[in-house]
Structure 1
Amino acid sequence: MGHFWTVINALHSLAGPTVTLLYPLYASVRAIESPSKLDDEQWLAYWILYSFLTLMEMVAAPVLEWIPIWYQMKVVLIAWLVLPQFRGAAFIYERFVREQLRKYNTRVGKDHYPSDGYNKFAEFVSISPKKVEHEAH
């Protein structure tokens, strides 16, 4: 019975990093290389939510230590966010995050950013390395 628990603990230790990092990293690279934008949205949404969850965990660590099954609940939640059958990350982003961003943008309005400074930044960000390399020659 001791070997069984050792195997279970080893699987448990591997499940978290595999579900939270390894598979999402692999899927993100595949999404970047694919022509579809749908998978890009899923994985960008995942990394936004994963970052938020990690920050929340850091702040709430003293409280979460008292919840004995927090790690298991987190792995199940992240599996829902990650698995392509559910597209949970895209769902959460569309349903909650985007809605909050829209509310924030309507409160701030377009005058929040100086038009010329914002446009210069947007132009800088939109320059692709290939475009810069082509213009240099």
Structure 2
Amino acid sequence: MNTKQFKVLDQFEAQTKLPRSYAVLGAGAVYLLLVFLNFGGIGQLLSNIAGFVVPGYYSLKALKTSTTKDDTRLLTYWVVFSALNVLEFWVKAILYWVPAYYLLKTLALLYLALPQFNGAVVVYDLVIKPLSDKYITVPSEGPANDLLNKVSEKTE
């Protein structure tokens, strides 16, 4: 990400004579510290923000591109994210006892969301795809498929 577009970083650099990267790293460290300490449940909020904001930003950018590669990667992220949220709901009582759970969750969500890591595709290919292939079939013929094809033709 290009930090030249953020004026607050220009001000930081001018006032402190330190590189703007220090401000970015410092803000990231404070963010992760707040997630780790989880005062008043803020760790859960900040963890969910990391899970929504970063991929949400990339999703908005992907909607403006003509390629489908980024769309597929982000759709994969949202499928994995949704599956993890359902899983988290059902095992929350156990996760309460995991030290630094929200810090680990935040780091995992960033691994899944950031395109540099492509973590969502890895998790999808290793866990979700084998399960979905076993239990979900997509018909190649029939009324539902005909309707889907008609809708696809009209939107193109």
TM-score (norm 2): 0.62
2:144 maps to amino acid: Y
Q: How does 1:53-64 map to 2 (within 5 A)?
A: 53-64=84-95
How many pairs were matched up? 119
Q: What one-letter code is carried by the residue in structure 2 that aligns with 1:66?
A: W
CA–CA distance in structure 2, aligned partners of residues 69 and 40 of structure 1: 32
The question of 1:91 aligning with 2:117 is answered: no
Cross-structure match for 1:48:
79
Native 8 Å contact 1:64 1:70 kept in 2: yes
2:96 maps to what in 1?
65
**Cα distance in 2 between the residues matched to 1:118 and 1:65:** 43
User: Are the structure 2 counterparts of residues 70 and 125 from structure 1 closer, same or farther at C-alpha, using a change threshold of 3 Å?
Assistant: farther
Equivalent positions of 1:70-85 (< 5 A) are 70-85=101-116
| Structure-2 residue corresponding to 1:126 | 152
Task: Return closer, same or farther for 1:18/1:61 CA change in 2, 3 Å cut-off.
Answer: closer
Question: Partners of 2:112 and 2:146 in 1: how far apart?
Answer: 35
1:124–1:55 CA distance, 2 compared to 1 (3 A): farther
CA distance in 2, matches of 1:101, 1:8: 35
RMSD of Structure 2 on Structure 1 (CA): 2.9
**Structure 1 stretches lacking a partner, 5+ long:** 1-6, 132-137
1:104-119, aligned counterparts within 5 Å?
Answer: 104=135, 115-119=141-145
Structure 1 CA distance for aligned equivalents of residues 105 and 84 of structure 2: 9
Question: What is the Cα deviation at residue 8 of structure 1?
Answer: 6.2
- Distance in structure 2 (CA, Å) of the matches to 1:91 and 1:114: 27
Deviations for 1:7-62, whole angstroms, at most 9, x for unmatched residues? 66885347524421111111011112112222111110111111111111111111
- The answer to whether structure 1 residue 103 and structure 2 residue 152 are counterparts is no
Mapped to 2, the partners of 1:33 and 1:93 lie a distance apart of: 25
SS of equivalent residue, structure 1 residue 35 = coil
Contact 1:81 1:87 in 2 (8 A): yes
Identical columns (%): 28
Q: Give the direction of change, closer, same or farther, for the CA distance of 1:66–1:39 in structure 2 (3 Å limit).
A: same
The verdict on how the C-alpha distance between 1:116 and 1:58 changes in structure 2, with shifts beyond 3 A counting, is same
Distance 1:91 1:33 in 2: 25
Q: Tell me, which stretches of 5 or more residues in structure 2 are unaligned?
A: 1-29, 36-41
SS of match in other structure, 2:98: coil
